[in-house]
Structure 1
Amino acid sequence: MRADRLVATLLLLQQRQQVTAAEVARELEVSERTARRDLEALSTAGVPVYSVQGRRGGWRLLGGARTDLSGLTASEARALFLVAGPASTATPAVKTALRKLVRALPEPFRAQAEAAASSVVVDPRHWGSRLPVPRTPRFLDELQEAVICGVQVRLGYVDGKGAHTERTIHPLGIVAKGSRWYLVSHTEVGRRTFRIDRVSSVQLTDVPVQRPDGFDLAESWREIADEVDRKSTPLQAHAVCAPEAVGRLRMVLGGRLEVGDATPDGRIEIVIRGYNEYALAGEIAGFVEWLEITGPQAVRDHLAVIGGALATRYS
């Protein structure tokens, strides 16, 4: 992403006052030719970047430009470091460079820029059936602004049953999961998660967020997602499986498969989560060659019925 490299190059110029193409290439992990082309592009575009010839030469920003990075605003700095966050499509090299260069920002911008880099988590797994990726939710930008600025929000919300409520929340982070966006918040009744496409109104306040001690967005989301998965798949079936089939089962079941220890006969103990006995039996019937369900008995009974039906039809 060339635009990301250009901004990162500007930050590097601000930090060091003068750089060579070789230094830019090393910091941003690109070729020296690419670094030189980017520096020339900045100058051609009207950014006050100029080259200094000679043995001690290099590239400089006109007048040093050390306080405002040629007009970089606080909101632009936050946007820059969203590029370095996990939701970005920037390359790992660009993300690493931007994180290194946060120290080049003016002090008033630094805290919010760092907050922007950790304000979003991306979880690519889907809950339920796959849905087309929706348009950006109406209030996504406002809620991200609240997370980055660390202020409470008066939130209007319509739940899954159509009931409308308003409440004051402490926004902690935003998660993109599959085809949905979610807001993770602290409320008067504890941690809550809101689907952003169901938000009906957002009013930012000037009251600081009360952030739980040690809060980490990625870790918190893992706990939330695991709890949702457990509630949607309450049944646990225990089994032993041939080692060569574990990978195939994982491809089908994903996070609903838990792999345990090896048994004396070389098979692997596993636990499979499912919605109910009938649905789970249907999912795993094709693995009968490698899999032995040890419980609950209802799953075994459904597998026996499926086996009988198959034998009757295809014998």
Structure 2
Amino acid sequence: MRADRLVAALLFLQTRGRVTVAEVAAELEVSERTARRDLEALGAAGIPVYATRGRGGGWELVGGARTDLTGLTEAEIRALFLVTGPWAASPELRTALRKLVRALPAPLRAGAEAASRAELGDATDWSGGRAALAPAPASASASVVERAVVDGVRLRLGHARPGEPVGVRTVDPLGLVSKAGARYLVAGTDRGLRMFRLDRIASAEPTGEPVDRPEGFDLAVAWRELAGRMEERLGAATVRGRAEPGVEGLLRRLFGSRVRIAPGEGRLSIEVEVDGPSPEVVAAQLAGLGARFEILEPPSARTHLATLAAALTTLYGPPPP
């Protein structure tokens, strides 16, 4: 879904009052299915758009037709600019956003501009391939985090990694990033800049204190540094093995740029190297290939896979006679 289409659909609603899906499709030069999906996305982003059925029905904004954006609330403006901000790379979308800002009442313009800068999009996944653009469902605290980023207010944040208890800390929310189907908060902490996945945030409470923003802070630069650290951790260990011919495509889908396959044709097996955060994690990921992949080293990966196999045999093996 293109953010510039959402902006165009909203402007069309504002100027026409009530519209049909067919009219939106004609205006945006898309299919009716795409037009309906865009209208639904506006509602999901917090814009008060609704549909009425029957003769004379259509889609309209709560409150009737308007020729500008002055009827939108502060929360609705924030939601719209957060949706469009991460993907505002095209000149057309940047122009549309500038027009939207000019159409807003003066007291709301600063917030809209802050929201448009609050989030950026990273179009690659953690293995270096193209990323999914649709974000995963966020936690119930996501809206609190978004507001804190835009308003520049410190947060008392509860966050937990998988399998770990929730830890609470005070952070300075500095920006948001959409990457690989997930959203991340970039924040200052007592240990420097850190990233927090929004869908792992258990609680977020504003402290009322202003954010301590580093001088010259640039969200794109900060994200490159944090993402680089993560990519280093993802490639901290290497597992070597051999695989049956024909699984190369599956290995590349699973590991992206973290897998290296020795060239050659007509062999009974292929040599493979896979990078990951630890030998045990890589072994667990390779377990689904069964006998099509044999781990050769390190020994800890073989041991971990043997332990997994024994546990699975105990759970799913045939019952004793």
Question: 1:52 aligns to what?
Answer: none
* Shift, 1:264, TM fit: 8.5
CA contact (8 A) 2:174 2:188 kept: yes
* Shift, 1:237, TM fit: 1.5
In structure 2, the CA distance between the partners of 1:271 and 1:265, relative to structure 1 (3 Å rule), is farther
> What amino acid sits opposite 2:78 in the alignment?
R
Identity of paired residues, percent? Answer: 25
Structure 2 counterpart SS, 1:244: coil
- State the distance in 1 between where 2:203 and 2:240 align: 41
In structure 2, the CA distance between the partners of 1:82 and 1:124, relative to structure 1 (3 Å rule), is farther
* Shift, 1:246, TM fit: 0.9
Question: 1:173 aligns to what?
Answer: 176
CA contact (8 A) 2:25 2:31 kept: yes
Structure 1 counterpart SS, 2:201: helix
Q: What aligned pairs does 1:99-178 form with structure 2 within 5 A after superposition?
A: 100-107=95-102, 108-109=109-110, 110-115=112-117, 118=120, 136-137=139-140, 139-149=141-151, 151-157=152-158, 160-161=164-165, 164-165=168-169, 167-173=170-176
Question: 1:77 aligns to what?
Answer: 77
TM-score normalised by length of structure 1: 0.54
* Shift, 1:70, TM fit: 3.8
* Shift, 1:102, TM fit: 0.7
CA contact (8 A) 1:116 1:148 kept: yes
TM-score normalised by length of structure 2: 0.53
Task: After superposition, give the CA deviation of every residue in 1:261-307 in whole Å (9 maximum; x if it has no partner).
Answer: 5259774643254543995598277344xx5655335657899998x
2:273 pairs, out of 254, 266, 270, with 270
Structure 1 counterpart SS, 2:220: coil
* Shift, 1:144, TM fit: 0.6
Q: What aligned pairs does 1:1-315 form with structure 2 within 5 A after superposition?
A: 6-9=9-12, 28-30=28-30, 47-48=64-65, 61=67, 65=68, 69-84=69-84, 100-107=95-102, 108-109=109-110, 110-115=112-117, 118=120, 136-137=139-140, 139-149=141-151, 151-157=152-158, 160-161=164-165, 164-165=168-169, 167-173=170-176, 182-194=184-196, 197-199=201-203, 201-207=205-211, 209-210=213-214, 212-213=217-218, 215=220, 219=224, 222-223=227-228, 225-226=230-231, 229-230=234-235, 235-241=237-243, 244-250=246-252, 253-254=254-255, 257-262=258-263, 267=270, 269-273=272-276, 275-276=279-280, 279=283, 283=287, 286-288=290-292, 291=293, 293=295, 295-296=297-298
Task: After superposition, give the CA deviation of every residue in 1:77-98 in whole Å (9 maximum; x if it has no partner).
Answer: 22223333669xxxxxxx9976
In structure 2, the CA distance between the partners of 1:116 and 1:75, relative to structure 1 (3 Å rule), is farther
- State the distance in 1 between where 2:213 and 2:228 align: 21
In structure 2, the CA distance between the partners of 1:78 and 1:123, relative to structure 1 (3 Å rule), is farther
In structure 2, the CA distance between the partners of 1:175 and 1:83, relative to structure 1 (3 Å rule), is closer
Gap regions ≥5 residues in structure 1: 15-22, 50-60, 88-94, 126-132
Structure 1 counterpart SS, 2:76: helix
Q: Quick check: which has more Rg, 1 or 2?
A: 1
In structure 2, the CA distance between the partners of 1:236 and 1:262, relative to structure 1 (3 Å rule), is same
> What amino acid sits opposite 2:217 in the alignment?
P
Structure 2 counterpart SS, 1:215: helix
Gap regions ≥5 residues in structure 2: 17-22, 37-50, 52-56, 103-108, 128-135
* Shift, 1:175, TM fit: 5.7
In structure 2, the CA distance between the partners of 1:42 and 1:100, relative to structure 1 (3 Å rule), is farther
* Shift, 1:245, TM fit: 1.5
CA contact (8 A) 1:241 1:270 kept: no
Structure 1 counterpart SS, 2:72: coil
Question: 2:47 aligns to what?
Answer: none
> What amino acid sits opposite 1:71 in the alignment?
G
In structure 2, the CA distance between the partners of 1:143 and 1:121, relative to structure 1 (3 Å rule), is farther
Structure 2 counterpart SS, 1:72: coil
> What amino acid sits opposite 1:203 in the alignment?
T
In structure 2, the CA distance between the partners of 1:28 and 1:224, relative to structure 1 (3 Å rule), is farther
> What amino acid sits opposite 2:98 in the alignment?
R
Task: After superposition, give the CA deviation of every residue in 1:188-228 in whole Å (9 maximum; x if it has no partner).
Answer: 43112346534353224345633634635764664465355
